[in-house]
Structure 1
Amino acid sequence: MYFVEFADTSIVITEPYFNFTSIQESMNEILFEEYQFQSALRINAGSLSAHHYFHMNPSQLCCLVVDSGFSFTHIAPYCRSRKMNEGISRINVGGKLLTNHLKEIISYRQLHVMDETHVINQVKEDVCYVSQEFYKDMEIAQLKGEENTVMRDYVLPDFSSIKKGFCKPREEMVFTGKYKTGEQILRLANERFAVPEMLFHPSDIGIQEMGIPEAIVHSIQSMPEEMQPHFYQNIVLTGGNTLFPGFRERLEADLRSLSPSHLPVSVLLPTNPICYSWEGGKLLSHNPDYDEMVVTREDYEENGHFICEEKFDI
């Protein structure tokens, strides 16, 4: 076990864009008065991702960070590591909404799972994907038997012999009759791609907001015209929802159809989009300018919340 001495430790802590002042002040008090950290840096996760991107691509001037996480999807343009506040967008669609919607569909069609959030979240991560041709996949999902190439059977955990659910291999699926074993099976067809489709078309379930492609175009169009080509060429995906198979390809295709035809579009999916901002924070902590960016406990004790407002460009 490893113990950290807070009084000798510098902390980098993330917060949402446009956070409330009252929450920021409470956070300052917790960090410096309750835990008494030596120094602290309060920053947006997207800024850490942008720092990571510019560190790996020093020749680039601009990037657009798309962070699709548990509660929200944020789109934030950065120029030379500085965020452009006027271009930041938020969509109220994230992994939590997708999991809850999948719970409702399964509970309505097959089995009551409204209390099984953790299990259904795992089902979502194991079997869902982003369709490249939604209506074509919908037609396939309506076919019977082996012709339905979308259909998958998911074995639910019983937490004794089966600790974690898993997707049955296609060749082991039974299309007529029932399985001989006592396994509890979920049969999933159009749910596999209809649930992640909400990231692209939230209006499908009555959420009157833009999908991610439209929000990206809206964000880029709010930037100066000479910068827009740079943003289209440097779109960085972070957050767990970007791990759905086909997400990057679909987003790039949708952006290609929405953006000016003469501009190239490039979407980057990092190897580990969930930890991308954390890795950016790690890089930032080794930056020669890091000590100039933080607020020390002595600074805070002398100047209070004012010094944090001045230093943290949130």
Structure 2
Amino acid sequence: MPSAYVLDNGAYSIKVEHSNAAQPKLVPNCIMKAKSEKKRLFIGDQIDDCRDASGLFYLLPMNKGLIVNWDLQKSVWDYILSKDCCPANFAETPCIYMEPYFNYASVQEGVAEIFFEEYECQSFLRIPTGDLAEYHYRKQNPAAPCCLVIDAGYSFSHVAAYINGKRDPKATKRIDVGGKVLTNHLKEIISYRQLNVMEETYVMNQVKEDCCFVSLDLKADFAKSKLKYPENDIVREYILPDFTTLRRGYVHTLDQPPVVDQQKLRMNNERFSVPELLFHPSDVGIQQIGLAELVHHCVELCPEEARSHLYENIIITGGTSQFPGFVDRLYKDVRALASDEYNINITLPPDPTTYSWQGGKLISQDPEFYSFVVTKEEYYEEGPIILLERFDGVS
């Protein structure tokens, strides 16, 4: 069976590669301008060539997980399909395109039009990333009749219940908190307390990834953060990059020799108060329930006979799930909400960012794969309606 071209079109990064590869390439889904090189645009991972990544200006094709600027998105796709990144021969290679839940029909039609008419794709499968996470989990756990997928992404976080391989639409929910909200909140806190970093999204995203963790006892950690070192073992210094001798910053503990001649941030309660938004969105005025309550709510919307299986088969995907302590905190909060009769089992894959892409790789090897796709001939013969009919039930 020939390989498929698997493209997970995330709002933060696109995961793309042929299905015969072990791992996908991760390409930022944006175009960036730098103060140091005003005449050049950096598309995707070309940012690695930028000499000074301070004060980057982002041009984002997606907003709240949906494509809003087609010219920018097409430019990113053109780069990805070029010989410099991950070229494809769509005359022979089917394309698996992953999208978020609740995507607009107009966006779906636009994507299909570009892939069929611009890229001359011969066979195309459009499918939610969560469906492929569930497919991947089902292949690894064939005895599990149900699965609850948590996708903690860049624009928002989703929870979706799957029963016997089919997603329950009424138990598919989202909250508007993801990696982007966390990074923006961190920028605001640091700008208010220490240093104006409102234009340093690229660097502050790295600070978030390197420094932050999820608290297991919020009250105790806040109390500890008010103390002085060494009683306060939460406080850290983050050495900021200068983009001459240091391209990426790093965490520096206070028991190490002090770093001189480098700009630094002092990270204290910011380390755990920023990821706390995943569990309490109302802290920044987002009037929605947190992730643990959302898990409980989605399970309670399902038939009673499925609930024990859903609690025992929770799979987490998405880059925002990689904070230390995330799984333990989620387990603790869900355990407190769920009935004592249920066992809770939460699985965090070794790489939650590419877990859905691996599901796309697996589905391309399914003996029934070609019954899922829409061919170019079908698309031209029946129009966009064939996409809605065919892709509505794939999972």
- Scaled by the length of structure 1, the TM-score of the pair is 0.96
What is the distance in 2 between the residues matched to 1:288 and 1:186?
A: 54
Offset at residue 262 of structure 1 (A): 1.2
2:332 aligns with: 253
Offset at residue 38 of structure 1 (A): 1.0
Kindly indicate whether residue 345 of structure 2 is the aligned counterpart of residue 297 of structure 1: no
Kindly indicate whether residue 306 of structure 2 is the aligned counterpart of residue 227 of structure 1: yes
Instruction: Give 4+ residue runs of structure 1 displaced > 3 Å after superposition.
Output: none
Moved more, 126-135 or 32-41: 32-41
2:277 aligns with: 198
1:133 aligns with: 217
1:182 aligns with: 261
Offset at residue 4 of structure 1 (A): 2.2
Structure in which a larger fraction of residues adopt helix? 1
1:282 aligns with: 361
What is the distance in 2 between the residues matched to 1:107 and 1:38?
A: 50
What is the distance in 1 between the residues matched to 2:156 and 2:257?
A: 36
Equivalent position amino acid for 1:303 in 2? E
Q: How many residues align?
A: 309
The structure 1 residue matched to 2:159, chosen from 53, 72, 75, is: 75
Higher relative CO (Cα under 8 Å, sequence separation at least 6) belongs to 1
What is the distance in 1 between the residues matched to 2:205 and 2:163?
A: 36
Equivalent position amino acid for 1:86 in 2? K
Offset at residue 170 of structure 1 (A): 4.2
Equivalent position amino acid for 1:187 in 2? R
What is the distance in 1 between the residues matched to 2:371 and 2:390?
A: 9
- Scaled by the length of structure 2, the TM-score of the pair is 0.77
Kindly indicate whether residue 191 of structure 2 is the aligned counterpart of residue 107 of structure 1: yes
Offset at residue 169 of structure 1 (A): 3.6
**What is the CA deviation profile of residues 110-152 of structure 1, one whole-angstrom value per residue up to 9, with x for unaligned ones?**
0110000010000000010000000100000000132111000
Where does the alignment leave 5 or more consecutive residues of structure 1 unmatched?
none
CA contact (8 A) 1:153 1:173 kept: no
Offset at residue 299 of structure 1 (A): 1.2
Offset at residue 173 of structure 1 (A): 5.6
Equivalent position amino acid for 1:221 in 2? E
Equivalent position amino acid for 2:98 in 1? T
**What is the CA deviation profile of residues 148-184 of structure 1, one whole-angstrom value per residue up to 9, with x for unaligned ones?**
110000100000011110001442165xxxx5x2111
What is the distance in 2 between the residues matched to 1:80 and 1:292?
A: 20
- The CA RMSD over aligned residues, in Å, is 1.2
What is the distance in 1 between the residues matched to 2:300 and 2:192?
A: 41
Equivalent position amino acid for 1:44 in 2? P
> Aligned residues: percent identity?
48
**What is the CA deviation profile of residues 251-292 of structure 1, one whole-angstrom value per residue up to 9, with x for unaligned ones?**
001000000011111111011100000000000001101000
Structure in which a larger fraction of residues adopt strand? 2
